[in-house]
Structure formats: C-alpha cells, structure tokens
Amino acid sequence: MTFSGRFLLSMIQFASERGAEFEVLIGLSGHDYAFLCDEESRVDADIYNKVLEKILIDTGDPLFGLHAGENLNLAAAGLVGQISQTSSTVKEALEYCCEFANLGCRALPMELEKTEKGYLLAFIPDPEWKLRSEEAAKQTIDGTLAFSLREFHLLTVQNYYPLEVGFDHAKSDTHNEYERIFKCPIEYNCEHTYMLFSKEQVEAKVVTSDFNLLRILVAYANQQLDSLLETEGFESKVKRSIMNLMSPNFPTVSEVATNLNLSSRTLQRKLGEENSSFKEVLESTKKEMALNYLSQKQYEIKMIADLLGYSDTSAFNRSFKRWTSQSPAAYRQAN
C-alpha cells in the first residue's frame, strides 16, 4: 500500500507554512526532496502515516487535512488533474478520477454512482490502512474531499457546492468549519464518506476539454497504473480482501479465493511463493486489529475478543501472548 510522493511533499510544504519544520518532515519520510518531486515516486503507507501524525503534532491543527485540501495548489493532483481538465464532461472527469485514484492514494478508492438525488461520489478507505492509523486516514479523507471540491469548481468554472456531504467519523466541536468549507447539509457517522452533486452540474461540459490530449494522458495513466499494480505483493491483496469481506466474521480461505477469482489451492500456492500462508495472513490481520483496538480505551478486552471472533477472552489472551509475549491487559497498560 503506497502513496504518491508528490502528494506527501505537498502536505509537507503546506505544513511548513503552518509552523512545522520542513527538513524534519522530509527526513522523516526517508527520502530526499528530489525523490518526492518525481511524478512516479511512491512512499509506503506506514511512512505516510508517520509523517502525517508528526504534522498534526507540529502544526497543532486538528483539521490539518481539511485545511490542506482547501489550500493546496491544484497542480498537486498531477496526472489525474490533467486528465480531469481535458475530459469532455464533469461526469467523465469524475469517472477518470475514480479509475486512476490509485495513482495518488492507493488506500482511498473512489466510486461514482448515479442516484435519484444526483451523483454520489464516495470515498472508501482501505480497512487495513485505516486500522494502521485512523487519524491519518481521517485527515487524508477530509483533505481529499476539500481538494475534490476545488477541482469541481475548476471543471465547472462555477462555485457550485454539493447538495450534501457525509463523513464516516463523528460530529465534533469543529462542525462549523466543515459547514464553512462545504456550504451544505453535513451528515456524520455514515457508512462511507461522500459528496452528493446535482445531476445538471455533473453532466455539464468541461470548457478546457481536449480529446486528443485526453487520449494521450489516459494511455500514460493506464501504463502507470499497470506498473503500480505489478509491485503489490499477493499477500497484501489477500489481507485487503480479508478486511473487505469481514461481515462481521472473518472470511474463510474459500471466500477470499472466490473474491480474488482464484481457487483455494491457487491462493495457497501463490502465498507459498511469498513464504506465507492463509493462516499466517489471517493471524497477522487479527494481530493488527487487536493492537489497534487495545489502543482505543473505550473497547473492553472482552469486546475485543468478540470482535476478533474468539469464543472467549481466554482464547484471545492465549493468541495475544503468542504474538507479543504479553497479555492484552499488560500491553494496554504499557502503551
């Protein structure tokens, strides 16, 4: 799971304008400035999360992502932004944004759906990424919405606003800031984060459309996407499938194999080629979820055991000690 290096650099630059140390954040990324400037550069999700968490501390802005999305240079959209501006209609532009969303942020796929009310643009974070850093996910999603609204204004050449916006997080004391930016009714604790736009606005023509340039850009984007997908290990795909299929029980190897259009035997063979197995991937997923739940004090240990599918607390305790050499209670107290 990776993020665009250029996107991370844009976040770092905006953070430096708000009091964070530019060189410290660059150093934390593990890359130099030239690398992050490259359109094709990628950074690991854990690095991205670590830098963003540091930014939140250094800027002291609990809505940093939202404010970054509101202020970042639109050039930060890179290739996807160019494709949007050469599309024939806003709808086509949004469809391409969904198709190539992985080029900017692999952990935040987008979907466009036509409804009775209008067009709903949904942002659905990868469960594994959200589990690693819920705060980084929230900030990125907030920022992506604010940035997408500015792109929408650019495409329509009008300051249109959504009919409605929904967030998957709870309402907070900062609610007024969301209202200031989106200027529409806002819902919280939704299944997915989304923006709802009117049918007329989405089906409008883009004044900067250029069919010949669009074909060239889309062909290049497809090449980049194919190259990116080839770098992802099969184990990562299996883990993401496990997270997506939880409802609420963990899926079986057969269910995951079906989701990936494979036989169970082929799935196990491909994992074996990476010196792994379905049992090991499932255990690793449970461990990550357990660590995340334990960091959130509102979850009692018995509840965590239930969420992870254990028959009782003692069975969860045994698994957790095998993973960490500590009991869940001892781990929580130490962290």
Interval 177-200: pLDDT, tens: 999 999 999 999 998 899 999 999
Reported as a single tens digit per residue, the pLDDT across 12-21 is 999 999 999 9
- 75 and 178 share a domain? yes
CATH number of the domain at 318, please: 1.10.10.60
Instruction: Report which of residues 228 and 54 the model is more confident about.
Output: 54
Residue 174 CB partners (closer than 8 Å, separation 6+) = 62, 63
Residue 28 lies in a domain: yes
User: What whole-number distance in Å separates Cα of residue 294 and Cα of residue 90?
Assistant: 44
How confident is the prediction for the chain on average, in pLDDT? Answer: 86
Task: Tell which residue, 81, 125, 80, has the closest CA to residue 100.
Answer: 80
- 162 and 294 share a domain? no
- Position 106 scores a pLDDT of 67
Reported as a single tens digit per residue, the pLDDT across 61-108 is 999 999 999 988 766 667 778 888 889 999 999 988 888 776 666 677
Domain boundary among 224, 256, 281: 224
Write phi, then psi, for 27 (nearest 5 degrees). Answer: -60, -40
- 144 and 288 share a domain? no
Write down the H helix ranges in the chain.
5-16, 22-29, 33-37, 45-59, 64-71, 78-86, 90-99, 127-132, 134-156, 175-182, 199-202, 211-230, 234-245, 253-259, 264-272, 278-294, 301-307, 313-324, 328-334
Reported as a single tens digit per residue, the pLDDT across 26-35 is 999 998 888 8
- 181 and 91 share a domain? yes
- 56 and 144 share a domain? yes
Residue 267 lies in a domain: yes
- 59 and 119 share a domain? yes
Mean pLDDT: which of 59-68, 205-214, 232-241, 245-254 is highest? 59-68
Q: Coil, strand, or helix at residue 112?
A: strand
Reported as a single tens digit per residue, the pLDDT across 241-297 is 887 777 667 889 998 888 787 888 888 998 998 899 999 999 888 888 888 778 777
- 150 and 21 share a domain? yes
> In which band, very low, low, confident or very high, does the pLDDT at 204 lie, cut at 50, 70 and 90?
very high
Rounded mean pLDDT, 40-69: 90
User: What whole-number distance in Å separates Cα of residue 146 and Cα of residue 65?
Assistant: 9
User: What whole-number distance in Å separates Cα of residue 25 and Cα of residue 13?
Assistant: 9
Copy the structure tokens of residue 327: 């009991």
Residue 289 lies in a domain: yes
User: What whole-number distance in Å separates Cα of residue 144 and Cα of residue 141?
Assistant: 5
- What is the residue range of 311's domain? 234-334
Instruction: Report which of residues 249 and 321 the model is more confident about.
Output: 321
Rounded mean pLDDT, 1-12: 85
Domain boundary among 224, 246, 268: 224
Write phi, then psi, for 333 (nearest 5 degrees). Answer: -65, -35
- The answer to whether residue 150 scores a pLDDT higher than 80 is yes
Residue 173 lies in a domain: yes
Q: 61-70, 138-147, 213-222, 305-314 — which is least confidently predicted? A: 213-222
Instruction: Report which of residues 220 and 306 the model is more confident about.
Output: 306
Domain boundary among 174, 201, 224: 224
- 133 and 251 share a domain? no
Q: Classify residue 208 by burial, with Cβ atoms within 10 Å: 0-12, 13-18, 19+.
A: middle
Residue 123 lies in a domain: yes
Rounded mean pLDDT, 198-223: 84
- 96 and 197 share a domain? yes
For residue 79, give Cα distances in angstroms to 4, 75, 76, 170: 11, 9, 9, 33
User: What whole-number distance in Å separates Cα of residue 42 and Cα of residue 313?
Assistant: 41
- 54 and 92 share a domain? yes
- Position 74 scores a pLDDT of 66
Residue 71 lies in a domain: yes
Residue 139 lies in a domain: yes
CATH number of the domain at 174, please: 3.90.1520
> In which band, very low, low, confident or very high, does the pLDDT at 164 lie, cut at 50, 70 and 90?
very high
Residue 229 lies in a domain: no
CB 139 within 8 A of CB 53: no
- 267 and 214 share a domain? no
How many structural domains compose the chain?
A: 2
CB 90 within 8 A of CB 156: yes
Quote the pTM value.
Answer: 0.69
- 288 and 173 share a domain? no
- The answer to whether residue 231 scores a pLDDT higher than 70 is no
- The answer to whether residue 334 scores a pLDDT higher than 90 is no
